[in-house]
Amino acid sequence: MSHEPLVKNETLSHGTIECSDLVVTRRFLTEFLGMKIHRPVPEAQYIHKGGPWSVVCVCVEGGEAKEQIPDNRFKISVGSKEEVRQAHDEALRLREQYGIRQVNDLVESDVMVSFQLQDLNRTWWEITTADERYYGQLFERGDIA
Among 106, 112, 120, 130, binds another protein (CB under 8 A): 130
For residue 122, the minimal CB distance to another protein (Å) is 10
* Contact positions with another protein (CB under 8 A) in 41-80: 41-42, 45-56, 58, 60, 66-69, 71-79
b/e per residue 24-58 (b: at least 16 CB within 10 A): ebbbbbeebbebebeeeeeebbbbeeeeeebbbbe
CA 68, 71, 77, 79 torsion-angle sign: positive
SS3 state of residue 28: helix
Judged by CB under 8 A, the number of residues near another protein is 78
Site string for another protein, 7-46 (x = CB under 8 A): xxxxxxxxxxxx---xx--x---xxxxxxxxxxxxx--xx
For residue 124, the minimal CB distance to another protein (Å) is 9
Report how far apart, in Å, the C-alpha atoms of 34 and of each of 8, 39, 67, 141, 144 are. 33, 16, 23, 32, 34
* Contact positions with another protein (CB under 8 A) in 75-104: 75-79, 83, 87, 90-91, 94
Q: Does residue 127 bind another protein (CB under 8 A)? A: yes
- Looking at beta carbons only, is 105 or 141 nearer to another protein? 141
Among 61, 62, 96, 141, binds another protein (CB under 8 A): 141
- Residues with Cβ within 8 Å of 100's Cβ and at least 6 positions away in sequence, in order, are 28, 32, 91, 94, 117, 118, 119, 120
- Looking at beta carbons only, is 105 or 143 nearer to another protein? 143
